[in-house]
Amino acid sequence: MKSIRTLFIALVLLPGLCSSAQNIRGKVIDDWGKPVAGVCVSDGVSVVRTAEDGTYAIDSDKSQGFVFISVPSGYKVKMREDGTPAFWQALKESATVCETADFKIIGQEQESYTVQFNGKTPLFDLYETNPAPAYYSLNIAGDHWIVMDNVITVSKAVEDRTMFGGVRYEKSTKAGFSDVQKAWLLKDLETVAEGQTVRLFTTSPLSGERPAGVDYAYSPQSFRPKDDIDGSVVGTFDKSGERFSYLSAGGEEKWMNFYDLNEVRRFYQKDSLCLARLASQKKLTDYRSNIFKDCILAEIWLAGPDDVVRMWEGNKEHEVEKLVLTDPLLFVENSFFGIRCKKSKTTVYIEVYNKDGKILRQEKFYRPMPFSRKAE
């Protein structure tokens, strides 16, 4: 009987069984298994609501590579084993194939709440980690929170070759919303109930007036103290008191991400989320490639345009290349400093100097360095 039941489940979950153009379907249930009606579901372009039986259907071009729910007030979601919150799912098939994405929400008392902000995104105490995708919304204690990465990256080719055999790019950024984000934001705001407070958090301050329908707009720069030059202060928003306070992040200061691409390659070759993202988003860096063998990447925060980054493998200094690749953790484009090592087991030293030759920061890492999505 067990084998028959397993076969039946496999048949139900096989993609491509939808008979209409609505190619993303699913159901939202609570922790008792009961359907939840009226929950907003989005593919990053369209926004729909679940029916009385908890089901939804979206006609999607799957251009954003994900589907997510706007968690309603009075609920939270579980954390997955990989440390990501289960309010979103990656899409694994092309737009011609129907996929199923079900969600489960858990009842939670929410008379008041606290939101902590780090350098980029708010860390909601319901989620405990940097969530994905890069823009989404949720509801807490009657408030509607919208979180959006409003930094637009512009890449310009500056040289013909890199150590990976491709074109070298320089990256510049500017604050703003893409056309897709603007359209999604308008649709999301249409779902807000009358009298509901709308709070928008963006990674960069808004360049103009806040969008119509948004009551409050926040960003890291809007609450960070002036003397917090390295982002080591965490801002805390207390709903019960409608105020911000400032807390030291504590612990050892972290000023960079370091990636041993040998370990990243191994992880990408077997991780289901990475494989799904690579299949649905063709512009992502494919770290499974052999061209990344024995390479290391360093994402150095707050490195100024005139700062100099130097790297050593043991006692041997290597020429450092500046590269624009997608972040192995966050799947978004970032600037990195990289070298190709001679050995797979070695110690790497990194130093950052200002234009006057004064050393600003230094660090060492031991390879191999394990990689996982819990690396942050």
Domain termination residue (choose one: 56, 87, 108)? 108
Residue 93 lies in a domain: yes
**Final residue belonging to a domain, choices 88, 108, 128:** 108
The three state secondary structure string of 130-172 is CCCCCEEEEEECCEEEEEECCEEEEEEEEECCCCCCCCEEEEE
Residue 210 placed within a domain: no
- Structure confidence at residue 31 (pLDDT): 92
**What is 5-71 written as a DSSP string?**
HHHHHHHHH-TT---SS--EEEEEE-TTS-B-TT-EEESSS-EEE--TTSEEEE----TTSEEEEEP
With respect to residue 82, please indicate whether it lies within any of the assigned structural domains.
Answer: yes
Q: Which pLDDT score is estimated for 181?
A: 92
CATH number for 40:
2.60.40.1120
In-domain check, residue 226 = no
Q: Is residue 264 part of a domain?
A: yes
Residue 23 lies in domain: 2-108
In a domain? residue 303: yes
Question: Would you say residue 127 lies in a domain?
Answer: no
User: Looking at the domain assignment, is residue 40 inside a domain?
Assistant: yes
pLDDT at 108 (0 to 100): 87
pLDDT value of residue 162: 62
What is the spatial distance between Cα 326 and Cα 329, in angstroms, rounded to a whole number? 9
What is the CATH number for 318?
A: 2.60.40
**Which of 75, 108, 141 is a domain's end point?**
108
Total number of domains in the chain: 2
Can you give the pLDDT at residue 141? 85
C-alpha span between 89 and 94 (Å, rounded): 15
What angle separates helix 261-268 from helix 272-280, to the nearest 10 degrees?
80
- CA proximity to 106, closest of 132, 129, 122, 127: 127
Mean pLDDT (10-residue bins), the chain, 376 residues? 36 45 92 96 96 96 91 88 80 89 92 60 38 81 88 66 60 78 95 91 79 84 48 51 42 68 93 83 87 90 78 94 84 84 94 87 90 61
